[in-house]
């Protein structure tokens, strides 16, 4: 793949890399020292002040894409940053919420921390973009057409420049769902969009089947809080990436969180074996989740010999070898293997 084809990919996220290196103009350097998202946001006023007193041109290749307009750095779980470009000059940087832009790069603060900390920030962004943890977008018909063809030719070039990046552990609203691979989605009232009417009969399950592309998917959580959590039982085929959600804290196309292979274990192998005082005997096979997690739950019961359930949202106040958080609407309880 030649440079001319590959350069389209560089055009857009060259502006993203603007934040991770100093910009040198013909007159003066723009100094940017931030190595974390929070530091970057704090540094925006200083960067803007420097730009006001220092004429900084957009790279010549980038002018083919945008000469006048706004580039948006959309941080999914933090404030957004806007870069104003006028007649090929970067005229300002600001934190805003108005939502108007020509091109945008979308990334979580967790992944942006890694990008900013790398010597090769462009290579790190390329790695996250190729893995679906960062995204590029455009507003307006002409801009979308330009970006569409740019993406077609850019992937090969991005593969050539990507650098190894760490697995990013971002904050998540997903509790432990032992025995499942899960994806989370956000809807009103947390965000403006509406995905599914959770109160409608089996609407949550239908949404999850479509979103995860599996007849085995089901809604583990779907209520009026705005968080929809879909899960596929361990042992069933799960997608390599969750369906896109720009509001997902772990990334737009993050991989499902796996609670298989004893992930989510609470306690130690030397637990007392005594039943917690606020936990009561229960019939494991009678729980609706059992049909999806049968193999895992049977293995835990064979290992521990006992299972109990709380009657409230309070965690068991004793030792549990394994814990499972049950959420049905606004009702939460715990299963404890001890």
Same domain, 12 and 109: yes
Give the other-Cβ count within 10 Å of 4's Cβ: 9
Q: Does 39 reside within a domain?
A: yes
Give Cβ neighbours of residue 227 (< 8 Å, ≥ 6 apart): 173, 184, 185, 186, 187, 190, 221
Last residue in a domain, options 127, 161, 195 = 161
Same domain, 7 and 141: yes
pLDDT at 28: 63
Q: Are 162 and 281 in contact (CB under 8 A)?
A: no
Helix (H) or strand (E) holding 257: strand 257-258
Q: Does 168 reside within a domain?
A: no
Q: Name the domain count of the chain.
A: 3
Q: Does 333 reside within a domain?
A: yes
Same domain, 28 and 61: yes
Same domain, 147 and 253: no
Q: Does 8 reside within a domain?
A: yes
Last residue in a domain, options 202, 229, 258 = 258
Last residue in a domain, options 107, 128, 161 = 161
Same domain, 8 and 156: yes
Considering only CA atoms, which of 199, 139, 178, 171 is closest in space to residue 262? 178
Report H helices in the chain: 3-17, 37-53, 109-117, 121-130, 141-161, 203-212, 290-304
Same domain, 325 and 249: no
Same domain, 51 and 192: no
Q: Does 71 reside within a domain?
A: yes
Angle between helices 109-117 and 37-53 (to 10 degrees): 60
Q: Does 10 reside within a domain?
A: yes
Same domain, 156 and 193: no
Largest CA distance in the chain: 75
Q: Does 264 reside within a domain?
A: no
Same domain, 17 and 54: yes
Task: Provide the residue-wise pLDDT of the chain in tens; the chain has 338 residues.
Answer: 333 333 333 344 444 444 433 444 445 666 777 777 777 888 888 888 888 887 777 766 566 677 888 888 888 767 788 988 888 888 888 887 767 888 888 887 778 878 887 778 778 888 888 887 788 888 888 888 877 877 777 777 778 888 887 665 555 567 777 778 899 998 877 777 889 998 888 899 999 999 999 999 999 888 777 889 999 988 788 887 889 887 777 767 777 887 775 433 333 334 567 888 899 888 888 777 776 677 778 888 888 889 999 888 788 888 888 888 776 656 678 888 88
Q: Does 221 reside within a domain?
A: yes
Range of the domain at 239: 180-258
Same domain, 252 and 289: no
Same domain, 11 and 67: yes
Same domain, 134 and 218: no
């Amino acid at each position: 793949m030649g440079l001319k084809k590959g350069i389209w990919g560089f055009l857009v996220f060259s502006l993203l890399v603007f934040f991770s290196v100093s910009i040198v103009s013909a007159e003066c350097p723009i100094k940017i020292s931030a190595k974390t998202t929070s530091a970057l946001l704090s540094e925006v006023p200083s960067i803007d002040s420097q730009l006001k007193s220092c004429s900084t041109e957009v790279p010549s290749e980038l002018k083919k894409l945008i000469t006048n307009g706004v580039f948006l750095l959309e941080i999914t779980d933090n404030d957004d940053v806007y870069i104003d470009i006028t007649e090929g000059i970067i005229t300002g940087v600001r934190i805003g919420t108005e939502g108007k832009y020509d091109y945008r790069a979308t990334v979580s603060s967790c992944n942006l921390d890694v990008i900013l900390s790398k010597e090769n920030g462009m290579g790190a962004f390329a790695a996250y973009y190729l893995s679906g943890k960062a995204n590029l977008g455009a507003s307006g018909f002409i801009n979308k057409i330009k970006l569409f063809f740019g993406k077609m030719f850019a992937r090969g070039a991005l593969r050539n420049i990507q650098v190894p990046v760490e697995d990013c552990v971002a904050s998540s609203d997903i509790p432990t769902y032992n025995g499942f691979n899960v994806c989370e989605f956000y809807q009103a009232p947390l965000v403006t969009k509406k995905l599914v009417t959770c109160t409608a009969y089996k609407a949550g399950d239908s949404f999850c089947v479509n979103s995860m592309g599996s007849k085995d998917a089901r809604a583990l959580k779907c209520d009026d809080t705005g968080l929809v959590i879909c899960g596929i039982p361990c042992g069933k085929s799960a997608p390599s990436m969750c369906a896109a959600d720009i509001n997902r804290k772990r990334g737009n196309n993050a991989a499902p969180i796996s609670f298989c292979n004893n992930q989510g274990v609470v306690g130690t192998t030397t637990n007392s074996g005594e039943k917690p005082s606020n936990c009561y005997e229960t019939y494991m096979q009678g729980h609706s989740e059992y049909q999806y997690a049968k193999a895992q739950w049977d293995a835990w019961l064979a290992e521990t010999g006992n299972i109990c359930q709380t009657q409230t949202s309070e965690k068991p106040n004793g030792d549990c070898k394994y814990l499972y958080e049950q959420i049905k609407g606004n009702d939460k309880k715990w299963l404890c293997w001890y």
